[in-house]
Amino acid sequence: MISNPVIDAMMNRKSIRKYREEQPSDEVVETVIRVGQQAPFAMQMGSVLLSRNMERNIFRAPLLFTICVDVYRMEKVMEMRGWKRKASDLYTLMFGIQDAAYMAENMVIAAESIGLGSCFIGAAPFMAEKIKELYELPDRIFPLVMLTMGYPDEDPPLRPRYPMDFHLFEEEYPRFSDDDVSEAMKKMDSGYLRQEYYRKANYMIPLPEGMEERFDFDKYSWTEHISRKLGLWGENPEDILKNLELCGFSIRACI
Where are the chain's structural domains? 5-155, 157-255
Residue type, 138: P
Residues 14-41: b if buried by 16+ CB within 10 A, e if exposed: eebbebeeeebeeebbebbbebbeebeb
The pLDDT value recorded for residue 166 is 95
Per-residue confidence of the chain (255 residues) as pLDDT tens digits? 999 999 999 999 999 999 999 999 999 999 999 999 999 999 999 999 999 999 999 999 999 999 999 999 999 999 999 999 999 999 999 999 999 999 999 999 999 999 999 999 999 999 999 999 999 999 999 999 999 999 999 999 999 999 999 999 999 999 999 999 999 999 999 999 999 999 999 999 999 999 999 999 999 999 999 999 999 999 999 999 999 999 999 998 777
The pLDDT value recorded for residue 255 is 76
The pLDDT value recorded for residue 121 is 98
The pLDDT value recorded for residue 124 is 97
The pLDDT value recorded for residue 252 is 85
CATH 3.10.20.30 corresponds to the domain 5-155: no
The pLDDT value recorded for residue 174 is 95
The pLDDT value recorded for residue 172 is 97
Q: Give Cα separations from 157 to 13, 64, 249 (angstroms).
A: 10, 23, 40
Measured between alpha carbons, how far is 110 from 9 in angstroms, rounded to an integer?
9
User: Which DSSP string do the residues of 126-173 spell out, in sequence order?
Assistant: GGHHHHHHHTTPPTTEEEEEEEEEESBS--PPPPP---GGGT---SS-
The pLDDT value recorded for residue 254 is 77
The pLDDT value recorded for residue 47 is 98
Q: Which long-range contacts (CB under 8 A, 24 or more apart) does 24-30 make?
A: 24/62, 24/63, 24/116, 24/149, 24/150, 24/151, 28/114, 28/116, 29/63
Measured between alpha carbons, how far is 237 from 255 in angstroms, rounded to an integer?
14
Q: Widest CA span of the chain, in angstroms?
A: 63
3-state secondary structure 178-206: HHHHHHHHHHHHHHHHHHCHHHHHCCCCC
Query: What does DSSP assign to residue 5?
Result: H
Measured between alpha carbons, how far is 113 from 213 in angstroms, rounded to an integer?
43
Residue type, 21: E
pTM of the model: 0.94
Q: Assess contact for 142 and 128: CB atoms under 8 A.
A: yes
Say how far residue 137 (Cα) sits from the centre of its chain: 20
Q: What order of strands is seen across the sheet that includes strand 141-150?
A: 46-51, 63-70, 141-150, 117-121
Measured between alpha carbons, how far is 67 from 94 in angstroms, rounded to an integer?
15
Helix (H, G, I), strand (E, B) or coil at 70: strand
